[in-house]
Every structure is written in C-alpha cells, then in structure tokens.
Amino acid sequence: MSESLPLGRPVLGAREEELVLEVLRSGNLSLGRRLPEFEREFAARLRVSYASAVSSGTAGLHLALRAVGVSDGDEVITSPFSFVASANVAVYERARPVFADIDPVTLNLDPDAAAAAITNRTTALLPVHIFGYPADIPAFERLGLPIVEDACEALGAVHQDGVAVGGRGHPAVFGFYPNKQLTTGEGGLVTTTDLQLKERIDSERNQGRSPDMGWLDHDRLGFNYRLSDIACALGLAQLERLDQLLAARANVADLYRAALAGLEDLTLPCPDRDGNRRGWFVFVVQLPRGVERDAVVRALVSDGIPSKPYFPAVHLMTFYRERFGHREGEFPVCEDVAARSIALPFFPQMTEAQVDRVSAALTAVLRGARSDRQAVR
C-alpha cells in the first residue's frame, strides 16, 4: 500500500513560530495586544469596520445570534446542508432551527425555500456559505429579516459585486480550525459594521464585562469565548500569507478539476458563476446515483487515501430527529446531495502527483462500480 495522504493539513512556518514565541516571551497570553491587532488586520483585509475574535466559529455564531436578538421560542431559518454548529447555536438560545432546502448547484440555502419557511416567529436568517461558495445574501436581504452569515468555510470568497464575503455588514462568522483557509488552532471571528454589535460581542465573549468596568464586575450574562493572544499571533502570521494560501488551494482545485474531468457522472464543485468567487476550503464531489458510497470510501482507504462523507444532512442527525421529529424526505435536494458527497484530500501543499494519485484511484473505483452496475442490468 502506498503512503497515506492526510485529508487536510495546515501550512505553518517560521513566521508563525516567531510571532507565537514572542507572545510566550511577553507573558501576555490573553487579552494582550495581539488580540486587537489581529481583529484590525482581519477587518482591514475584508474592508469591514469591525471584527471580534472569539474562541471558535461556533462561539461566534452563538454570540452573533444573541446580538441580533434571537431568544426563547424564536425561529431561525438555516441550511440543513452544513456543519451541525450552524443549527446548534439556535438551540443554545432555546430557539428552533427551521431548515429549508438548498440550491442543487451552489448547495447553499435556497432563498425561495427560505422565504416559504418564514412565520411570525422567524427572527433571523442564518445562511451558510457552504464549501466557500458565496450564498446569495442580496436575495436574503430582500426578505427583510436580520441576517447572521455563517462564513466559517468562506474566507477569501467574494460576492458578485466585488464585496468580500463577510463584508456586507451583517454579522458574519469565520472559523479557524486547522482545516480552514486560515488557522489559529481553534478560533473564530465575527465581522460587522455595527459598533454596538461589536461591543456586545466583545463583552459577552468575556463573561459580560464592559471594557470600562472594574475587575469582576459584570453587567450582563456572558461566556468565556475569548481567543488567546497565542492564537491571535498565529492568526496574524497566517493573515500575512493568506493570499498565497488561498492561491495554493485554488490551484489544487484546478488540478482536481482537470484530473477528474473525464468522469462525466461525477459532480464536481460548481465553477464560479455570475461573478461570485469561491474561497476554496474543501474539494467535495458527488458520486453518481446508485454507487455505494461506503464501498468507495473503503476502496480509497485501502489505497492510503482518506475521504469522508461530507456533509450528512443536519435534520437527519439523531439529535435533530429526536428533538424536532425530522424524517427523510423533508428536504429532497439536501438529502440527495448529502447521500452522495465525499470530501477528498485537499490542502495547500498538495502536489500535482498527489492529486493525480487520488484522481486515478477514484476513477478506477468508479469505473469498477460502473461495470458492476452494468453487469446487474
């Protein structure tokens, strides 16, 4: 068996070491100067007024939902084709995540389906820029409700009108887990153009303390969702090289697209259209209908190639079935895509030879599967 590939891998170098060591030597490991510096640099990069760094993308989504006023008994419309966190954060506030189906091409929440799901309890829309492809935020804006954008997978993505994803002014949340375009180990960040919203998030990430309050005096309920200065230093170093990191990911995606072009019944990530630009995060393909996905995953693993079903439909997860009574058939587009999708190894340093190896293995498995299907007919 050939050497195993990783599914993803961050790019870390001398600059990350230098900035992190400097924080360690300074002794200011949290709430030091790297936190506001990271926030300022990140906001400047997206041309947005403010940024609040937090301990994870999930923490950012939670605080952003609270900040737009979601609470007990409210409904938040979101995508069932996402990482579970985008729905969980509504449940944290005893609100109900209301799912609506996705667009079959972009795989993002469909604005028409979202519009049809609005009730008098709907307090917010939570579209997800899935796999780094810009969701149609202008269409959601026309629905006239507060929006929180889940941009955890979408750093580097750009809307049709040239505005960066996360730069439209609604609170938009990024995630910095090690598989992301930029990593701080664990971490997240909320962008906004609203100073009051930033101040509320800054307070709630720090146990509800206002910046001008005395030590251990708190005027509202808060959390410990702080991001350490160690993490912010890592983030600053990653920001310096973000253009290279994004370009390298886009290059790997191009290599995959070329190498897999011959497999007509395999669905590749949708190409950029109408001026929208993806910020490459993962390379997820949809297997042809009728192919047994687990068998494909097993065959790839035996060649040292990891892959994973990505994403399973959120509404069909055990917790969501049991808590909200969801069943198969509610969101047919999402369910069809979720049943056929796998994420292939994808990271900035991936070589052409590695992409070719994955593509050749997938091609061989699918050709084998096709002849089996033909034999059955």
Ligand X SMILES: Cc1ncc(COP(=O)(O)O)c(C=O)c1O
Separation CA 204–CA 196 (nearest Å) = 12
Separation CA 229–CA 32 (nearest Å) = 6
Burial class (CB in 10 A: 0-12, 13-18, 19+), 139: middle
Separation CA 74–CA 68 (nearest Å) = 12
Q: Does 42 bind ligand X (CB under 6 A)?
A: no
User: CB of residue 120 vs ligand X: minimum separation in angstroms?
Assistant: 27
The window from 51-59, 247-255, 284-292, 366-374 that contacts ligand X (CB under 6 A) reads 51-59
Q: Does 157 bind ligand X (CB under 6 A)?
A: no
Looking at the Cβ atoms of 167 and 187, the one nearer to ligand X is 187
- CA torsion 308-310-313-316 (nearest 10°) is 10
User: CB of residue 55 vs ligand X: minimum separation in angstroms?
Assistant: 8
User: CB of residue 42 vs ligand X: minimum separation in angstroms?
Assistant: 15
Q: Does 113 bind ligand X (CB under 6 A)?
A: no
Q: State the CB neighbour count (10 A cutoff) for residue 321.
A: 13
**Through-space distance between the first and last CA atoms of the chain, rounded to whole angstroms:** 33
Looking at the Cβ atoms of 152 and 252, the one nearer to ligand X is 152
Using CB under 6 A, which of 52, 78, 82, 108 touches ligand X?
Answer: 82
Helix (H) / strand (E) containing 99: strand 96-99
The window from 52-60, 99-107, 134-142, 342-350 that contacts ligand X (CB under 6 A) reads 52-60
CA distance readout (Å), 347 to 7, 61, 181, 286, 355: 8, 25, 9, 19, 10
User: Which residue in the shown chain puts its C-beta closest to ligand X?
Assistant: 57
Quote the DSSP letter at residue 189: E
Q: Does 109 bind ligand X (CB under 6 A)?
A: no
Stretch 136-155 residues interacting with ligand X (CB under 6 A): 150, 152-153
Using CB under 6 A, which of 97, 146, 169, 175 touches ligand X?
Answer: 175
Contacts of 327 (CB under 8 A, 6+ apart): 321
Q: What is the side-by-side order of every strand in the sheet holding 341-344?
A: 283-286, 341-344, 308-309
Catalytic residue status for 180? yes
Binding string, residues 15-34; x marks residues near ligand X by CB under 6 A: --------------------
Q: Which one of 45, 96, 180, 315 is the catalytic residue?
A: 180
User: CB of residue 256 vs ligand X: minimum separation in angstroms?
Assistant: 20
Site residues, ligand X (CB under 6 A): 56-58, 82-83, 85-86, 128, 150, 152-153, 175, 177, 188
